[in-house]
Amino acid sequence: MTEQLTLIAPDDWHLHFRDGDMLKETVPATARCFKRAVVMPNLVPPVTNAKLAMEYRDRISNATPASVDFTPIMTIYLTNQTTAEDIKEAKAAGVLAAKLYPAGATTNSSAAVSSLNSLQPVFEVMAEQGMLLLIHGEVTESHIDIFDREKVFIDQHLKPIVANNPDLKVVLEHITTKDAVDFVLQASSNVAATVTPQHLMLNRNDLLVGGVRPHNFCLPVLKRNTHQQALREAVASGTPKIFLGTDSAPHEKRNKENACGCAGCYSAWSAIELYAQVFEELGCLDKLENFASVFGADFYGLPVNTSTITLVKQPWQIPSEIELPNGEPIVPFFANETVAWRLKL
């Protein structure tokens, strides 16, 4: 039985830090084990250009503990007003990717894209500049069942985007369905995906059976067990096209436990440990390092980290709540549950 596991230092290829005082919690929680993280731009107001991205990067850097080596990878937020010049300026400033949210798809996405077809010139410039397109792959039309929205997006929008832009690198973020797995695995080498701990560990029973569990509510929403199993089989296969992206997304407890029930699971406190638990359950701990530390860097065209982390087989309990700098509590993902692996500090 494996009692200790040393990995190349991992990266988180999709997360939400939020802003302001919350950065004092979210940035150190991620930097404790991840060397780099792709930071989502859906702030209020959204990060839509190079100047805003660099200002946000500075705020993140100011919240990073001096004792750790951590690099935020910045993104910009696409709107129907995004121009070719916005893309060129962002790439020149070091922004590696742009995020496509269909308007209304998730937290702070009201300013996002309402006409995907109009972005074709932007996609062409992104391909020329070598900037990645990161996609929240759901349609938002009210008549389409929430459990079908990822599949419909793939069929109606993602397939044409990929077909029309063969040189554009595309990441379908936080995939949740067998449909997404099948599409990504059959697509060209310029198409990849991230998958979260919650979508590997849970299905919609964990959201709805025995009463609604607001801290398991995220978007895209948890799907049925057959889709969860497809995700687990995909990561167990060792495919380089699917890699780690937590989608860690904090909300104050009061904003999760109310009529709004904000979407998002704050997994930074236990992310690498939970992935290790999943890979151990699947009997493929030997696949974890590539998933967490190699495949994402390769797809982004970045060097693999040279330092390492060590996980030990030492059960521990995720706390029920964490106090934010403003005094408000936040409930971490998998609160009060026991995790089999622990980061060795």
Any idea which residues carry the catalytic annotation? 247
Asked if 90 contacts 51 with a C-beta cutoff of 8 angstroms, the reply is no
C-alpha 171/C-alpha 285 separation (Å) is 24
Half-sphere exposure of 194 (CA within 13 A, CB side): 32
CA dist 20 and 26 (Å) reads 11
Q: Which helix (H) or strand (E) holds 315?
A: strand 308-317
Q: List phi, psi (to 5°) of 205.
A: -60, -35
Q: Which residues contact 326 (CB under 8 A, 6 or more apart)?
A: 21, 22
* Backbone angles phi and psi of 188, in degrees to 5: -70, 175
Binding residues are: 14, 16-18, 42, 99, 136, 174, 219, 247, 251, 263
Binding residues for substrate: 16-18, 42, 136, 219, 251, 263
DSSP per position, 77-145: E--TT--HHHHHHHHHTT--EEEE-BTTSSTT-TTSBS-GGGGHHHHHHHHHHT-EEEE------TTS-
Which positions make up the binding site for Zn(2+)? 14, 16, 99, 136, 174, 247
